[in-house]
Amino acid sequence: MARQDNVQASGKGGELHQQVGDKRTPGGKAETISRLTTSQGIPVSDNQNQLKAGARGPVLLEDFVLREKIFHFDHERIPERIVHARGSAAHGYFELYESLSDLTSADLFQRAGEKTPLFTRFSTVAGGAGSVDTPRDVRGFAVKFYTKEGNWDLVGNNIPVFFIQDAIKFPDLIHSVKMEADRGFPQAASAHDTFWDFISLMPEATHMIMWAMSDRAIPRSLRTMEGFGIHTFRLVNAEGKVTLVKFHWKPKQGLASTSWDEAVKLAGADPDFQRRDLFEAISRGDHPEWELGIQAFDEELADSLPYDVLDPTKIIPEEIVPVRVIGRMVLDRNPDNFFAETEQVAYCPANIVPGIDFTNDPLLQGRLFSYLDTQLKRLGSPNFTQISINAPKCPMMNFQRDAQMQMQQFSGRANYEPNSLAEAGEEGGPRECPHTGFRSVAGRAARQEQGDKLRLRPESFADHYSQARLFFRSLDTAEQAHLASAVVFELSKVGLTHVRTRILANLVNVDGELARRVAQGLGMEVPDASPAAAPVQDLGTSPAVRIIGGPRERDSLKGGTFGVLVADGSPAGEVKAVLKAIKDKGGTPFIVSPKVGEVTFAGGSTMAADGQLAGSPSVLFDAVAIILSPEGCKMLMGEGAAVQFAMDAFAHCKAIAVNEGARPLLEKAGVMPDEAVVPPEKFGSVAGRRHWAREPKVRMLA
């Protein structure tokens, strides 16, 4: 059988001869390379950029390289999503705080106090539907608003930037992070050769890597993470005035993360930890809330920034454009059926309503094509919009008929427009409405960004390191240590030495101390900085990006779950005092005992346990209390799960309440007294947050 190398017509008798490329390595050695083609065999000149009308212009539909590549990618796996396969979701509503009629004509933003129903799905990205909840990964944050003017899907992540600038690279990104093609592992993990090989060759991903290696990628709960629309969008008011906007979801529960060791143990203790947490919180009436905020700005401000607002690898720091809070989202009802709703819901960034419009962000432009295409393959028919969870809650009228799974009964013979059947007394169907229908913006940005058809990344997208530097230098010192340690861990799983070296060279451009710490953790020398496409700028810092010590760090018992370890003979009064302190501050107590069933306290009173010790480790709780009698403590000191319960709570920087009877157990677990190891009566004052100052006592960090 002939080799399937790239071939080129020779012009002799119509035969095809192999045409192998040749390039020179830095040492002068010839290296044969194959020529990249489409599946039709057409050579590809540029696999990095979409075809646009001008460097900052919209993407052109004629880009057959993009369409074939994304088309194939969207149809690679059935029936679960290619990415974001593992999801958890809930129903709720959006309540507007104030009218935005000055900025947009979108109906849901007109009347203060009005509530719009919605359905929100959170997800991991890399793992399959059967993977665990707590890997280091980006989290999807997608909201479907059922507005009076149709569905609006705000499809974002819990991180405000993305790995790539151009959607044509999305299949490559996901192929690299998914299980390696020859071995089928690792599942739901980025710590392997192919992902870091790709990242090392894509400097534009450096900013996103900072976020992905930070505590943002290991959230404590779906309820304690932010959401971002990522892209710059347009708001359009009734007079046609355009305002640029970025969307933010701010959790009213506060921001909270896990430690890496805790995330790993959670995966074993409860693979469904975050899904269970969301479901149970809603079931008990502890409804999660987020406030929707916007960064609104004009073209003049956009042009003044030292980066391009159309570049999805960039943020606008909140210190430059403050977030204006405009409403809140409340999730108050769990799905009735996981498959019918959470699995069949179909989000698409192209679903927008009058008053909201796209920009020419090249990642967004590619997503507008990709999502609709992948839903068609996954759900099997263009009529997936008729599935209950996807159907709009306002009237829907058009001339689309037939196709598989058509569930509507149409009357009349008109399935085309225009028609004049109404003049004959027949049903003519709906008509377009120039006054209230959706109209794409045709203003300054759209006109001035058009130009020659070309495959080119604009120069304003060339700075790949400055915002990565801003992010790292804005973090608390504990977060910086977590980030450096995460990179060390990930790169320790990479067997390709040249890839590790290349990543270090990129990190030198971000922060020399970060590169040194990672290199030291790997036992490597710090290489020279990799060439930068644009000079690295010092953009200052943005405290708003912090979790630890940041303006939105969680510092409350409200919404949390707190483990209380007891045994037969525990003093009833001390136990009840701790339970009351937790409940009074809005937390949920969880009684852990050596056996499932009733616990008999000193004096003879009893209480039902919520969980058995071996199945309820301290990683499941936001903080713990250990209330034991001397006899009960002596018994549990011989139980490894009890020692580990205390050891992990201390190692994960959680507050620990302990009575006198339980102190020997803590001593055996190596728990050292500090400001967060307290008597039961002080538990409520320290249990609402992590105590990261303890961390250097319990682990070595990069």
Q: Express each pLDDT in 123-171 by its tens digit.
A: 999 999 999 999 999 999 999 999 999 899 999 999 999 999 999 999 9
Bridge-based pairing state of the strands 242-251 and 227-228: antiparallel
Question: Quick check: is 47 catalytic?
Answer: no
Model confidence pLDDT, tens digit, residues 157-215: 999 999 999 999 999 999 999 999 999 999 999 999 999 999 999 999 999 999 999 99
Domain at 561-698, CATH from 3.30.70.20, 3.30.565.10, 1.20.1250.20, 3.40.50.880? 3.40.50.880
434 pLDDT band, cuts 50/70/90, is confident
**Which DSSP string corresponds to 286-325?**
---EEEEEEEEE-HHHHHHSSS-TT-TT----TTTS--EE
- Is residue 659 part of the annotated active site? The answer reads no
DSSP conformation letters of 656-694: EEE-GGGHHHHHHTTPPP-TTEE-GGGHHHHTTS--GGG
CA angle 460–462–466, rounded 5-degree value? 100
Neighbours of 595 (CB within 10 A): 11
What is the per-residue pLDDT for 551?
Answer: 94
Residue 433 makes CB contacts below 8 A (sequence gap 6+) with none
Amino acid identity of residue 399, one-letter, is F
Confidence grade of residue 61 (pLDDT, cut at 50, 70, 90)? confident
pLDDT given for residue 63 in this prediction? 87
Q: What digits encode the pLDDT tens for the residues 337-368?
A: 999 999 999 999 999 998 999 999 999 999 99
pLDDT of the residue at 443? 54
Q: Which residues of 175-191 are buried (b: 16+ CB within 10 A; e: fewer)?
A: bbbbbeeeeeebebbbb
pLDDT in tens, 532-582: 999 999 999 999 999 999 999 999 999 999 999 999 999 999 999 999 999
In CATH, which superfamily holds the domain spanning 64-190+218-386?
Catalase core domain (2.40.180.10)
- Closest C-alpha to 292, from 355, 217, 229, 224: 229
What are phi and psi for residue 634, nearest 5 degrees? -60, -40
Q: For the chain, what is the mean pLDDT?
A: 91
Beta carbons within 10 angstroms of residue 4's beta carbon: 8
Out of 49, 151, 157, 419, pick the active-site residue.
157
Three-state DSSP class for 148?
Answer: coil
Domains 64-190+218-386 and 561-698 share a fold: no
Beta-sheet pairing, 453-455 with 324-333: unpaired
| Spatial separation of the C-alpha atoms in residues 196 and 190, rounded to whole Å | 8
Q: Which residues, including other chains, have CB under 8 Å from residue 2's CB and lie 6 or more apart? A: none
Q: 365-422, pLDDT tens digit by residue? A: 999 989 988 888 888 888 888 899 999 898 878 778 887 788 888 888 888 788 888 8
Determine the 3-state secondary structure of 350 from DSSP. Answer: coil
Q: For the chain, which residues make up each domain, given as ranges?
A: 7-35, 64-190+218-386, 561-698
